[in-house]
Chains A and B, each alone.
Chain A
Amino acid sequence: ETGVTQTPRHLVMGMTNKKSLKCEQHLGHNAMYWYKQSAKKPLELMFVYSLEERVENNSVPSRFSPECPNSSHLFLHLHTLQPEDSALYLCASSREGVSSYNEQFFGPGTRLTVL
């Protein structure tokens, strides 16, 4: 295991539902990330937190709302999603901020299906 856990592993929701994805890292890292992975497409960076402050938001629709209450936990709150939001959502963490030299450790992902 990589030291990064995600729950739930699978989620099916309707377009009017509200749900949250949870990520927890046990590595003592300072930076956490949310990625979206769609079939046959590159990973898309959604949000980056460093020392619990959001440092990057890659023009993600407001129906996705991140929350980082402390350096070990990261949430992604979902509201009124669209079917095209169905994908694998990956959480990652790294030490010492967001330098590209710091290896990112990924969780197993949450497979989200929006009906």
Chain B
Amino acid sequence: KNQVEQSPQSLIILEGKNCTLQCNYTVSPFSNLRWYKQDTGRGPVSLTIMTFSENTKSNGRYTATLDADTKQSSLHITASQLSDSASYICVVSGQEYGNKLVFGAGTILRVKS
């Protein structure tokens, strides 16, 4: 079982709608959590990073939240655009793994017009 689980595996929404992607992790002790966006045919690009003391961080229409007690994070996308269609990857780093990055399998988001 992967130490970082993402849900849903895939999601289709209409342009202009909001959506929330989930990330649950078991990596402990926790160092930081990143959300990456990966467009088709491109490498992942970092959207946000959060440490233990941060519980929310925004980057434009993207807002990430973190609950270190329940080991859950979410990525909320507001007023979705066609360009938001991509894979969103949750990445957790923890001291148990020598501060290595543990990747989730990603959520594939498709925004339809």
Contact = CB atoms under 8 A, between A and B. Distances in A.
B42 A108 contact: yes
B43 A100 contact: no
A92 interface: yes
A115 to B, nearest CB: 21
Interface residues of B, number: 23
A4 interface: yes
B89 A43 contact: yes
Contacts, number: 51
Nearest to B10: A40
A84 B95 CA distance: 31
Size category, A interface: 20 to 34
**From A41, A42, A90, A108, residue with most partner B Cβ within 10 Å:** A42
B72 to A, nearest CB: 18
A2 B43 contact: yes
A100 B45 contact: no
6 contacts: A2-B45, A42-B104, A43-B44, A45-B101, A99-B99, A106-B45
Interface of A: 2, 4, 40-43, 45, 90-92, 98-101, 103-104, 106-109
- 10 closest A-B pairs (Cβ-Cβ)? A106-B43, A100-B93, A42-B103, A100-B99, A43-B103, A42-B105, A103-B46, A106-B44, A108-B42, A107-B43
Given A43-B89, A101-B31, A104-B46, 15 more contacts: A4-B43, A41-B105, A42-B2, A42-B104, A43-B103, A45-B100, A90-B44, A99-B99, A100-B100, A101-B32, A101-B93, A106-B42, A106-B45, A108-B41, A109-B43
